Every structure is written in structure tokens, then in C-alpha cells.
Amino acid sequence: MSLINDRYQFIRKLGQGNMGEVLLVHDTYMGRPVAMKLIRERPSLTEEHILRFIDEVKCQSKLQHPGIISVYDIGQADDHRIFFTMRAVEGIEFSALIRNVHETTSTQGLWGVGQDGWSFRRLIQALKQCADAVGFAHEQGVVHRDLKPQNLMIGPHREPLVLDWG
């Protein structure tokens, strides 16, 4: 594993978006895996991009809710890129659950239950919990600017989570 700075060791890449990439890293101080969102290095990176990234961190850190992943830390990598860390969540995207339920729906329009146990009713319940998290964020003055099924996840304990507050 390579070091990102004196605290975090790279494990693997989890994903990439417009502003940054998300890595699974080992927090050597706390002895646990965490997710790290690291601003992406690119030639067109401006101070405005960096300030927007930091604003994302501040917005997400204000949101202490079971349906929103808490921010743990903010810092700078050895290559000077800004990052923040949060709980690492391995789960399933809401969009995949929607597909699974649709695949079990009969030609007569009767909703089925997927092999994973998810039904239309259960999807609606999870979506309501995500809406509650977004409502909480609105009460804090934070608006999610990219709300879509790919940014909703069901965590390992079947908890609905709203991701990517950038």
C-alpha cells in the first residue's frame, strides 16, 4: 500500500466523478478503513474548483443524520491535493435494486420480489428514508444538486444513504 500522506494508506479506488475520485484507504491513526474523496488533478483545475470542493466538505460535515455519511477529516495529500474522509460504505446502488424489482415484475404489471428480497413496497420505504435525509439537509440550508438513484445506496445493514453532496 502506498501512502497518501503520513496518516492514510491507499487500498483501492472505489470510483470517480467530475470533481474527484473516491478511494478506500486505511486510516493508520484510527486503524480502520475509510473512504477518501480526493480532488482530481487536471490541467484545468482552478482555485474556484478547489473552493467548491472545500464547500462540499463543509456542507456534508454539517449534516449529522443516519441517512447521510459523516465527514471524519479534511486534509492535503503529499501531492498537495485536498481530500476529505468519511465512513467507508460497501452497499448496493438504489438503481440496481430498482432494476432487480422491475425484472421480477410480471407482464400483467404485478410487482415481484427480487432474489435479494426487495419488493416495490420496500423500495418506496427506502426512498422515503432518503427523502427524510434530504429534508433534514434542506432544514440545514443544504441542497443536494445531483439527486438520482446512483447517489442513493443501501448500506450493509440495509440502511438507505444519500451520497455525493457535491
* Catalytic residue (choose from 55, 78, 116, 146): 146
Other Cβ atoms closer than 10 A to 87: 14
Chain centre distance of CA 58: 15
CA distance 155 to 35: 14
Residue 146 among the catalytic residues: yes
Report how far apart the first and last C-alpha atoms of the chain are (Å, whole number): 28
Counting beta carbons within 10 angstroms of the beta carbon of residue 56, is it exposed (0 to 12), middle (13 to 18) or buried (19 or more)?
Answer: buried
* 15: β partners: 22
The set of catalytic residues is 146
